[in-house]
């Protein structure tokens, strides 16, 4: 029986949504498209301001909640 694969969006959105003002969370840089889309969607649906930044030397994308 094949193992069920969890989508990245299902892993990303709960972490982004749970951020309090001033907090950050990181994800693998390979997830960049998913993370940016989910951060934007979370801003639109739940309010607040979340921004993304990339650290290529660490191979991470960070999402921070600003407001």
pLDDT in tens, 12-64: 999 999 999 999 999 999 999 999 999 999 999 999 999 999 999 999 999 99
pTM: 0.87
Q: How far apart are CA 65 and CA 30, in angstroms?
A: 21
User: Would the pLDDT of 1 be above 80?
Assistant: no
Per-residue model confidence (pLDDT) at position 5: 62
Burial class (CB in 10 A: 0-12, 13-18, 19+), 25: middle
Per-residue model confidence (pLDDT) at position 4: 62
């Amino acid at each position: 029986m094949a193992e069920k694969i969890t989508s990245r969006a299902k892993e990303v959105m709960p972490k982004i949504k749970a951020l309090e003002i001033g907090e950050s969370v990181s994800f693998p840089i390979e997830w960049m498209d998913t993370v940016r889309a989910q951060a934007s969607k979370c801003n639109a649906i739940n309010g607040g301001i979340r921004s993304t930044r990339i650290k290529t030397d660490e191979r991470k994308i960070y999402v921070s909640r600003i407001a």
